[in-house]
Amino acid sequence: MRLRRLPLLHRVLWVAGASLLLLLGTTGLVVDHAFREGAEEARSQRLQGQIFGLLAAAELRDQALVLAGELPDARLRSAGSGLYAQVIDDGGTIRWRSPSLLDRTLPAPPRLAPGETQEGGVAPADGAPLHGLAYGIAWEEADGERGRFTLQVLEEQAVFAGELARFRQALWGWLAVAAGGLLLTQLLLLRWTLQPLRRIGRELQAVEAGRVRRLGEDHPPELSALTRRLNQLLAAQQQRMERHQQALGDLAHSLKTPLAVLRSQLPADGADTATAQLRRMDQAIDYHLRRAGHGPAPLGDRLPVRPVLERLLAALRKLDPGVRLRLDCPPDVRFAGGEAELMELAGNLLDNAVRHARSQVVVSAGQRNGEGLWLQVEDDGPGVPAAQVERILARGGRADERHPGQGIGLAVVSDLAAVRGGQVTVDRSETLGGARFDVTLRY
């Protein structure tokens, strides 16, 4: 499940990074293996070249092969240089040792037939491991003197290991640089490729915030069909909302007028059963029509809250000048819906608070992280007992029968909060001592 939630950029980078590491790792191992084989072949040829160079400087004296001339490699003359040579006769006696050996003792090479070679590691008892090449020789001078010898040239393994280590360091270093460069290039390429999707995301946020009504048209061909369908969806949603509101208005008009005519034909005292039933029908129709008119607002609708609350308070001050009304709402607070819906929500809460307040009502509004609206209305009236909270939020429920009303307003507020994924809570006001209504809406 977590893999499904990874952003597209991260997904592609993970796959590309794993593929790149696998490719470069395999390439590095292949190149390393090829270099090692080449280095071993080069070492064999180098040792063979040393043997031929020594043979060029050798001569036979008294049945012994000696190298009296200039040695082909200066390291053979330097003590402990890492390059050594020795000659044994057919009887296994050492006839010549390179000056680089000094008093170091090496295992005698096996006696080889003329032209035969043998290569491999040598582990002396008094030094670092060596790698040697032995070559069998049959020597014959013009005066008839002859002899059979084995010439061995040895090189310390550290020389070969050093070459291999330097190559591996360079190889893997450059491969790491190449991997970093390729990943950075792929990152930049992916960011550029996914830029249209990010632009669509920003445009959708602008539509949701109400800054624009539709998405832009300047998108790649692969995304133009998506944006066109989204624009069609936005337009269709707006049309459906308008038709819905119009249908509700027509329904209210078609039902209210016959009910009013029927009510006028009944006795004025309203004590009979028919009058009571008509009142209940009128109350139910009013409740359901007002409830049906609420719901999620179209994308793009963001209404400033403060001006609506100011108009409501101004109207209430005229109706009941004896109640002091105070507003606490920042100017940037917005509501994701229409003005009529906000008037219905705040108007019912304020009307209820003014009817029960003794002298003061405070209304506050704000937003949390721009993801919803919270509205709080407090009064200094008698408050609402905890046992009556559920009743007053239900349709037709009233906690105080002394004040006029149908018991619909707070039920509509509760339903509206539920539709928006929020809730209504009723508690005692800590500052005014009366009731405190807290409404949260999420969108």
**Which has more confidence, 314 or 297?**
314
Domains in the chain, number:
2
Mean of the pLDDT values across residues 358-367? 91
Strands 372-379, 360-366: pairing kind: antiparallel
DSSP state of 251: H
Band of pLDDT at residue 389, cut at 50, 70 and 90: confident
- Three state DSSP letters for 213-230: CCCCCCCCHHHHHHHHHH
- pLDDT (0 to 100) of residue 307: 92
SS3 76: helix
The answer to whether residue 120 sits within a structural domain is yes
Closest CA to 358 of 383, 384, 327, 380: 380
Are the C-beta atoms of 360 and 326 separated by less than 8 Å? yes
Based on the domain organization, do 194 and 338 belong to the same domain? no
Cα–Cα distance, 292 to 281 (Å, whole number): 16
Q: Residue 174: which residues within 8 A CB-CB, separation 6 or more?
A: none
Are the C-beta atoms of 81 and 75 separated by less than 8 Å? yes
Based on the domain organization, do 204 and 333 belong to the same domain? no
Based on the domain organization, do 58 and 197 belong to the same domain? yes
Indicate the residue among 175, 193, 209 that finishes a domain.
Answer: 209
Based on the domain organization, do 194 and 317 belong to the same domain? no
The answer to whether residue 310 sits within a structural domain is yes
- List, for residues 203-243, the tens digit of each pLDDT value: 887 777 667 777 877 778 877 888 888 888 887 877 777 77
Give me the phi and psi of 410, to 5 degrees please. Answer: -70, -30
Instruction: Find where tokens 């050594």 sit.
Output: 84
Listed in order, strand segments (DSSP E) in 43-111 are 59-61, 64-66, 83-89, 94-97
The answer to whether residue 147 sits within a structural domain is yes
Mean pLDDT of the chain: 79
Based on the domain organization, do 306 and 180 belong to the same domain? no
Closest CA to 290 of 245, 258, 238, 335: 245
* Beta sheet of 117-122, edge-to-edge order: 94-97, 83-89, 146-156, 130-140, 117-122
Based on the domain organization, do 317 and 434 belong to the same domain? yes
Tell me: pLDDT of 5 over 90.
no
Tell me: pLDDT of 73 over 50.
yes
Convert 132-143 to b/e letters by CB count within 10 Å (16 or more is b): bbbbbbebeeee
Based on the domain organization, do 205 and 91 belong to the same domain? yes
Are the C-beta atoms of 346 and 416 separated by less than 8 Å? no
Based on the domain organization, do 63 and 198 belong to the same domain? yes
Cα–Cα distance, 112 to 91 (Å, whole number): 11
Are the C-beta atoms of 150 and 137 separated by less than 8 Å? yes
Based on the domain organization, do 23 and 153 belong to the same domain? yes
Mean of the pLDDT values across residues 244-262? 71
The CA-based diameter of the chain, rounded to the nearest angstrom, is 159
Which residue segment(s) compose the domain that 203 sits in? 1-209
Indicate the residue among 209, 232, 258 that finishes a domain.
Answer: 209
Mean of the pLDDT values across residues 71-92? 84
Based on the domain organization, do 156 and 30 belong to the same domain? yes
- pLDDT (0 to 100) of residue 363: 94
Extract long-range pairs of 21-28: CB within 8 Å, 24+ residues apart.
Answer: 21/179, 24/175, 24/178, 24/179, 27/175, 28/171, 28/172, 28/175
CA distances for 243 relative to 51, 108, 250, 280, 297, angstroms: 102, 106, 10, 28, 14
Mean of the pLDDT values across residues 156-173? 88
The answer to whether residue 381 sits within a structural domain is yes
Tell me: pLDDT of 299 over 70.
no
The answer to whether residue 275 sits within a structural domain is no
Tell me: pLDDT of 353 over 60.
yes
Paired tokens of 443: 């969108």
The answer to whether residue 239 sits within a structural domain is no
Tell me: pLDDT of 399 over 60.
no
Based on the domain organization, do 192 and 324 belong to the same domain? no
Are the C-beta atoms of 128 and 157 separated by less than 8 Å? yes
Confidence (pTM): 0.48
- pLDDT (0 to 100) of residue 12: 77
Indicate the residue among 179, 209, 239 that finishes a domain.
Answer: 209
Cα–Cα distance, 293 to 340 (Å, whole number): 9
- List, for residues 13-62, the tens digit of each pLDDT value: 788 888 888 888 898 899 999 989 988 888 888 888 888 888 877 777 76
The answer to whether residue 228 sits within a structural domain is no
Q: Residue 71: which residues within 8 A CB-CB, separation 6 or more?
A: 53, 54, 57, 77, 98
CATH code, domain carrying 307? 3.30.565.10
Based on the domain organization, do 197 and 326 belong to the same domain? no
